Amino acid sequence: MKHGAVFAITGVLAGSLVPFQRVSPLVGTTLAGVAQHAAPPAPPAPPGPQPAAPYTYQGTVHSVQAKTGTLELITGVGHALRLVQMRVPTGLQVAGTAGGASLGVRGVKPGDVVRVVCHRAGGSLVADKVEKLEPTP
């Protein structure tokens, strides 16, 4: 009687094929035990929650709502224009304004070119830094 080669795949060999002639049940058990002990340890748990990724927008101020503290900014994305709305905290200083920095959205007006760094909180954008840019000649 002719026996063909038997191929076994084990976790130890990570997908390699190993030929066996008549494998006894004990050898299979031993290989399975080695495969269980040779498994890599689980990756460590990630450290606490990651801070929100900052977004940077540069564009022209479309509207300012001083009562609600919101700012609408027209930005260009490729050939398309986008209107981005964000909240500006009242204590936030607007850099680049005449006479130093001013507080809140009162430092900008429609038509100003600004750069805003913000983060997403509660489904909306909240400004972290507002910088008024000077027009280029």
Boundaries of domain holding 19: 6-37
Max intra-chain CA distance, the chain: 100
Going residue by residue through the chain, which has 137 residues, state the pLDDT in tens, using 9 for 90 and above: 555 444 444 444 444 455 545 555 555 555 555 555 566 777 776 776 666 678 899 999 999 998 888 999 999 988 999 999 999 988 888 887 655 566 677 778 999 999 999 999 888 999 999 999 887 77
Give the three-class secondary structure for 126. Answer: strand
Pair (15, 71) in one structural domain: no
In a domain, 31, yes or no: yes
Kindly report the pTM of this predicted structure. 0.58
Cross-strand bridge partners of residue 118: 55, 127
CATH number at residue 79: 2.40.50.320
CB-based contact 61:115 (threshold 8 Å)? no
Residues with Cβ within 8 Å of residue 33, at least 6 apart in sequence:
none
Domain count, the chain: 2
Pair (66, 24) in one structural domain: no
In a domain, 42, yes or no: no
Residues with Cβ within 8 Å of residue 123, at least 6 apart in sequence:
none
In a domain, 1, yes or no: no
Pair (15, 67) in one structural domain: no
Query: What's the rounded Cα separation, in Å, for the pair 111 and 87?
Result: 18
Pair (128, 87) in one structural domain: yes
In a domain, 120, yes or no: yes
